[in-house]
Structure 1
Amino acid sequence: MSDDVKRPILGRGENLVEPIRKKSSGGEKSFPRTYEEAQKLVKDELVKVKSNIDSIPLEKKMDDVVIAIRLNEKFLAKSYTPNVFFNTLNFRNVGSRKWYDEQGNESKLNFVKIRSDEIETGLDLLDSVKSKGFTDDIRKIEKINLLTGDEIALGFEEEWEQGRVELVLHPYEEEGIVLEKLFELLNISQEERKNIKYKVYENGPIFVSINLSKSDIDLVKDFNPLRTVHPLEFELNSAFGDLTINKVQPPLNSLAPIKKVGVIDGGVNLNNPFFQEFSTQNYEVSSLSSESFVTHGTSVASLVLYGDLSNFGDGTNVPNPIIGVESIRVFPTSDPSDIDLYESIDLIEEAVPRLNDIDIFNVSVGPTGSILDDDISRFTTALDKLAYDHQKLFVVAVGNSGTKRAPYNRIESPSDMVNGIGVGAYQIDASGNYSRAPYSSIGFGREGCKVKPDFCEHGGSSQRPIRVLGVEEYAMQNVQGTSFAAPIVARKAAELMMKSGEIGTLTARSLLTHATSNEMEEINNETGYGICIENVDDILLCTKNKVTIIYNNEMSVKNYAKLKIPLPKECDAKKIKLSWTVVVDTPPNPLFAEGYTSTSIEDVLHPHEEKFNFNKGKRTLKRNMVTQTKEIQELLTDGWVPSTIPASVTPQKFSTESERRDDLKWDTVFKRSKTFNLNSLKNPFLTFHALERDTDKNRIRYSVAVTIEALNYSGDLYNEILSEYRVLQPISVRLEQEIRTSLQID
């Protein structure tokens, strides 16, 4: 195969996947105190919390009261949840979140529901129950108390006086009674209650959107069913230049686009000939459209249809779009002076499941304000749930707060979603160097998606703005903002799926991430996994010595799988670089802020099938089972124990502090790479361990992109792989020029 022949990436990697048995590692945790010390501590804490519960006014509590069980810093993992203690004392676990002890160590707390009279029974049980599970659980506990007001009211700046907020209430089956108590506490009339939006998700919290003052917040923050309250404000803060005369012409043809992107925004002017034949708008909020929102939505749609028009000459006819737009107009809501995002989210939840032909949705709008580790917004929850249930991909702008002081420059909801792509913006200096655009909000993300933004796309700068079409056909405009970086990525994701029917939403996400510029040794809060590749055709094609294979599969939770990496025996390159990116989707769990991702995959690389570890005590030696048989026999005689599978080699991963715990173990995306001498590799493979916590889902969907690169090699790695691994096949690919040619012929 000559170098000028198209070499599509290889598919059917799932044919190289097989189950594997592997023993889980891990040992006993040491406890911070003896059982006798722990028993006294828990007794004292229960007595105090009962007194605190009794002092709560009746109008601020339900019969079932929520308290916080705070665990020692050593017991972060789901497996350490003190379930035996909870079940014995009839405590109902209704969620969890992070907390920090007095020394600043991160741990977690569990919210449990109890009745006050059950505490007396619990005190008696502390003296009578002696099972190991119960006594171990007691030794994990640091404190038992109520949340403080500062732990409930989050994200409010000092100057905040009044505005729309989101209340997140603990789950109660009697949601009507809880809301009635809340509204009576706030002295809200029956008429006013009709305008208050709330949403209850199955097995989830109660979300409420409401207008409150600072004094209202002070009144409500010790309302016991309340988990958190945070601002829910909205503003369009992208930068728009002055309108200029439109110097480009509409497409010469009006051929229907092959695929559409859903644009969730302020609407599009469908009478503009640049949009008329290539856009539809079947879902709209009931309120009338507004100029500012349509301007924003039209700019976003322009980028999906035509990309950045900066380099188009005067009088040029723009090309016929191959990607169209399905506009979902979610703004303005009923009161344009007080945007209620719940109206918008209601429409999104109605529209997205019905749009069966739309796989990719762009979201360049959302609330202002940094995400909060201890709280998940309804917007994020809604998009994550839609993405998982309907296998959609949401591409979300991370926000334009990058110039604010920390922590108010952190990414904004819903870009913290775990089943989508959060897009930041980059700029290019005079020397051609890429860096985060100053306005682009920074990471890191929350547990489950710590690398945020996922990556960056050009969002415009004062030196190099993005040019888009205006609302009317005679106008153009220069724009800047992450709002305009996101639709470029959404367009690229749609192009990938359009150019190959073998690419779904998970695969598009893994390929886009895999092709980004950063090879990270620590979390990059500025640009995430790096700069998005400019041309998606470069993702879809291999060179003769740099070959990408995609694996699309699913596996049962708690099981292990072996993914063979197809390194051919004929290859004699001196060095081989292996890179892989894994993407999974997960059912979101908004009750557990520090355990929001219910499923994930843990990956390990095994580079040489003949090399095994031998362990004795804390010592480990690596030996080749074929070439070092005599040494191995001596080790076995001396009591050394071999591992059950070949030795693993861990690429440089991330820091191990608690906020990046378990090396992104519960994240839905991770990207790794490592370079080896050829003699260090023989039939390399990855092992996957499917993880679950607090979910009834028993299968995990995943997509993996693996790249094998033979460095300074004169052979043809691509052909060697196809020759030896016949279960792999080049995916079917139509490049853009082929698509445009076929459109003209049709």
Structure 2
Amino acid sequence: FNARILSELSESEVLVTSSVDQLRSAKEALKVKSFRNNLFNIHELVISDIVDPDLNFKDSSEKNLTIYLMPNLGLEKAKEYVEQVKRHLAQLNVPIKGLFINQDTGDAYIDARVREEQLNNLVNSFGFIFKAHETIHAQSFEPTNQVTVNSDPQRKLSSEQNYVALPKICLLDTGVSLVPPIINLIADRYVEPPFTDLNDLDNHGTSVASLAIYGDTISNPILPRARVISHKIMHNKQSVNIVTALANAIQMHIDCKTFSRSVNYTATKLALKLATRTIDRLAQTTNSLVVFSTGNIDVDDVKNSISQGSSYPDYINEAAVFHPSDAPSVFSVGAYSKYSNQNSIAPPDAPAPFTRFGTNLKELKNCPKPELVEHGGNACIVNGAYDCTNIGIPVISNNGSIVEGIGTSFSAPLVSSHLARLWDKYRSQVKNSETLKAILLSTCKLTQNHPRYVGLGAPNENELFSSRFGVVRIIFEGNLPLVGSAGGASVIPTDEIKVFVPADVTTIELFLVHTDNYNLSPFPKLNSYLSVEVEKPGKGGSVNPSFGLPSAQTHVKHLIYRYKRNIKGDWFFRIIPHAIGISTSQRANVSIRYGGVIKLITKKPRFGLSQSVISGLRRGGNIKISSKPLGSEND
């Protein structure tokens, strides 16, 4: 057809660069009648294809819009077309509020405040406008009160040193106020226009920062774990475009790997899907650790659910995570409750009563969202509002006092702190952000109560850098093309990890996280998955796990193999890539980046387990990718 595919819009629609007449002529020239008849409709994009059907100018003569250019045109074309749009908007006296260009994919959009006739003029003037929708904006932070704790943070926590060697976390939030004891642990502060005040006037970002710095230990004497870069994106429920802000943060803070957001956004379905997909691609192409909270269930929604006959935790089934936590490349963090009292909604060690669960996107229905949870407090309902007295999570307020609060906003920075510390520890050994996620997931434990709502569970930070007695973790990572070649023929590439398993090991767990670089889908979806084949000593063919599905179409896998005997010897773990809805012609351009952990557990803990495994690895074998033993026992 002499046409280039720009986007595979769905299983039955493709966006191409070509004239309609050329495509129709090519269709008629097709010799195979059945194929010719399958080309049901060929038409040029019209304004109804481009403008969000939920966009309504009746309630306002002007709207803040995000205008996407055609995807996958390449970086140079994207820059050229952005300049054309900027000049055209200037002629229409339309102020530009922001723009974004992905330096890897060339995807681009412009934020502007326009009237309906100006939007129509723009769309009709250029053939490279893809979508236009109302710009997403922040909705809220936490639906909760904060309770003052009788404690002196300046006495409890020391920040007199300047801990320059600590890893950094970039927080996209409401800013941070420079109050003791975090004053010397704020590495930098930046504010997105049009905001000008660097401080936390909303009393949210400072609390989030305190957890990123000190973890869940603010009431106890402890040393800080990380420093914070404050990247202010919101004030008084007014916010900038989260995609632009995240792109700016990643580009500006080049010495930072972890980016955390605890602010909820609202917009039309189209706007949220496009933003989620753009953030997904941004996180994948930059190999960044992007952590978002799931958002919270509002107290009124909880009350309504209970009044209609639902009860905790069943109503959580109806509360999917907020976009853009749906993105496969984004770590979505929910909350669990450590503590309870006689009036609290949740029992201890259970999903928090306000946490969210599941995905809005049918394309990701098998993917765990959230992937994990962290402490976010518990709640009672008092006088129609959440109350967290003595069951919340201690945080530092914007005036320096210690208060109790609740919310998934407070869970996300705890996970961000874990990931930042892992990157700081293994940055010279580990290349893939997915590997760091897999290491953290390998420390997780399901909650005692109602575990189905917590993903893979809550991390055990005591196992971040070393395993407990009787446990060895082996890290592996790699990049796999979807299609390989051998002798001129196409083949499915496979990575194989060989691990020597000592005789007293009874349980083997495998954690696997992946993303891919497929860029032709305009909306968030799972484009690929990895299946796992495992071969144990003395048994021909692959063995099935006791828990988990080796071929499940997910971005995160957790498989468990349990044996009482005949386990000693070399085990082989084969990682095999698969495409989901990617046309055959495009698969050669797609690669999968992954990281994983193999966890060996003995029934009776003993010294020397890690040395036995390492000796087995050193004996040689056909290890096609790197396998790194993680510290064990007293390492």
Q: Bin the TM-score by the shorter chain.
A: 0.7 to 0.9
Alpha-carbon distance between aligned partners in 2 of 1:594 and 1:263, rounded to the nearest angstrom: 24
Residue pairs, 1:348-427, within 5 angstroms = 348-369=246-267, 375-377=273-275, 381-382=278-279, 384-385=281-282, 387-401=283-297, 409-427=319-337
Distance 1:248 1:499, change over 3 A: farther
Do residues 96 (structure 1) and 8 (structure 2) align?
yes
Do residues 593 (structure 1) and 520 (structure 2) align?
no
How far 1:424 moved relative to its partner?
Answer: 1.4
Do residues 721 (structure 1) and 608 (structure 2) align?
no
Q: Indicate the residue corresponding to 1:468 in structure 2.
A: 395
3-state DSSP of counterpart to 1:375: helix
Counterpart contact for 2:354–2:407, Cα < 8 Å: no
How far 1:471 moved relative to its partner?
Answer: 1.3
- Deviating more after overlay: 294-303 vs 347-356: 347-356
Q: Indicate the residue corresponding to 2:562 in structure 1.
A: 675
How far 1:719 moved relative to its partner?
Answer: 5.0
Q: Indicate the residue corresponding to 1:515 in structure 2.
A: 443
Distance 1:110 1:527, change over 3 A: farther
Q: What fraction of aligned residue pairs are identical, expressed as a percent?
A: 18
Residue pairs, 1:647-726, within 5 angstroms = 647-649=542-544, 653=548, 663-664=552-553, 667-679=554-566, 683-690=570-577, 694=586, 700-711=592-603, 717-726=609-618
Counterpart contact for 2:136–2:272, Cα < 8 Å: no
Q: Indicate the residue corresponding to 1:268 in structure 2.
A: 176
How far 1:115 moved relative to its partner?
Answer: 1.9
Residue pairs, 1:229-240, within 5 angstroms = 229=133, 232-240=136-144
Do residues 550 (structure 1) and 475 (structure 2) align?
yes
How far 1:485 moved relative to its partner?
Answer: 0.8
Length-normalised TM-score, structure 1: 0.63
Q: Which runs of 5+ in 1 are unaligned?
A: 1-86, 99-106, 313-317, 613-645, 656-661, 739-746
Q: Indicate the residue corresponding to 1:330 in structure 2.
A: 233
How far 1:291 moved relative to its partner?
Answer: 6.5
Q: Indicate the residue corresponding to 1:122 in structure 2.
A: 26
How far 1:121 moved relative to its partner?
Answer: 1.5
Do residues 339 (structure 1) and 233 (structure 2) align?
no
Alpha-carbon distance between aligned partners in 1 of 2:362 and 2:93, rounded to the nearest angstrom: 35
Alpha-carbon distance between aligned partners in 2 of 1:716 and 1:154, rounded to the nearest angstrom: 62
Q: Indicate the residue corresponding to 2:184 in structure 1.
A: 277
Q: Indicate the residue corresponding to 2:373 in structure 1.
A: 456
CA deviation map 1:363-399 (0-9, x unaligned): 223522586699331x6524642x4444331211122
Return the letter of the residue paired with 1:276.
I
3-state DSSP of counterpart to 1:456: strand
Do residues 607 (structure 1) and 535 (structure 2) align?
yes
Alpha-carbon distance between aligned partners in 1 of 2:567 and 2:183, rounded to the nearest angstrom: 59
Do residues 496 (structure 1) and 449 (structure 2) align?
no
Distance 1:372 1:484, change over 3 A: farther
Alpha-carbon distance between aligned partners in 2 of 1:123 and 1:609, rounded to the nearest angstrom: 56
3-state DSSP of counterpart to 1:234: strand
Counterpart contact for 2:482–2:592, Cα < 8 Å: yes
Q: Indicate the residue corresponding to 2:486 in structure 1.
A: none
How far 1:289 moved relative to its partner?
Answer: 1.9
Q: Indicate the residue corresponding to 1:70 in structure 2.
A: none
Alpha-carbon distance between aligned partners in 2 of 1:651 and 1:138, rounded to the nearest angstrom: 48
Match of 1:506 among 434, 441, 459: 434
Q: Indicate the residue corresponding to 1:434 in structure 2.
A: 350
Residue pairs, 1:147-166, within 5 angstroms = 161=59, 164-166=64-66
Q: Which has the higher contact order (CA 8 A, sep 6+)?
A: 1
3-state DSSP of counterpart to 2:234: coil
Q: Indicate the residue corresponding to 2:70 in structure 1.
A: 170
Do residues 302 (structure 1) and 223 (structure 2) align?
no
Q: Indicate the residue corresponding to 1:74 in structure 2.
A: none
Q: Indicate the residue corresponding to 2:487 in structure 1.
A: none
Counterpart contact for 2:138–2:266, Cα < 8 Å: yes
3-state DSSP of counterpart to 1:273: coil
Q: Indicate the residue corresponding to 1:83 in structure 2.
A: none
| RMSD, matched Cα | 4.6
Counterpart contact for 1:156–1:231, Cα < 8 Å: no
Counterpart contact for 1:607–1:681, Cα < 8 Å: no
Alpha-carbon distance between aligned partners in 1 of 2:205 and 2:603, rounded to the nearest angstrom: 46
Counting matched residue pairs gives: 564
Rg larger for: 1
Q: Indicate the residue corresponding to 2:409 in structure 1.
A: 483
Counterpart contact for 1:395–1:423, Cα < 8 Å: yes
